[in-house]
A and B are shown apart, each in its own frame.
Chain A
Amino acid sequence: MLYYFIPDKSIFGGIKVGFQLAEMLNDLGVPCVVATPGALAPQWFASSVPVVSSEWAQQNLEPHDRVMFSLPHDYERLSHLSQDLIFHCNGTDPLIDPILADKSVRHLSCWAQASSYMRARGVEPTEIGISVSDCFFYAGTPKREATACYMSRRGLDIVERTKAENPDIEYCAIEEMNEQQVAQVMQTSSYYLATSEGEWFGLPALEAMAAGCIVVSVPVLGGMEYLENEANCIVTECARMPSALSELTCPETHAERFAMRQRALATAYNYRASLQKQRLRELLRGPLEYLH
Chain B
Amino acid sequence: MGAAGSNYINHEKGLWSWLTTVDHKRIGLMYFITIMFFFLIGGIAALGIRLELFSTGKTIMDAATYNRFMTFHGAIMVFMVIVPGIPAILGNFFLPIQLGAQDVAFPKLNLLSWYVLMAGAAISVGSLIFGAVDTGWTFYTPYSIDTENGVIMMVVGVFVMGMSSVLTGLNFIVTTHKLRCPGMTMTKMPLFIWGLYSTSILQVLATPVVGITLLLLVTERTMGVGIFDPKLGGDPVLFQHFFWFYSHPAVYIMILPAMGIISEIITCYSRKTIFGYTAIAYSSLAIAGVSFFVWGHHMFVSGQSTAAGLIFSLLTMLVGVPTAIKTFNWVATMYKGSIRFDAPMLYAIGFLFVFTIGGVTGIMLATSGMDIHFHDTYFVVAHFHYVMVGGTLLALMGGLFYWFPKMFGRIASDTLGRWSFVFVFCGFNITFFPQFILGSMGMPRRYFDYIPEYETLNKISTMGSWAIALGFVIVLIAVIKGIRSGEKAGPNPWGAKTLEWTTDSPPIHENFKEIPTVTGGPYEYR
**A joins B in a complex:** no
Q: Which residues of B contact A (CB under 8 A)?
A: none
B-binding residues in A (CB < 8 A):
none
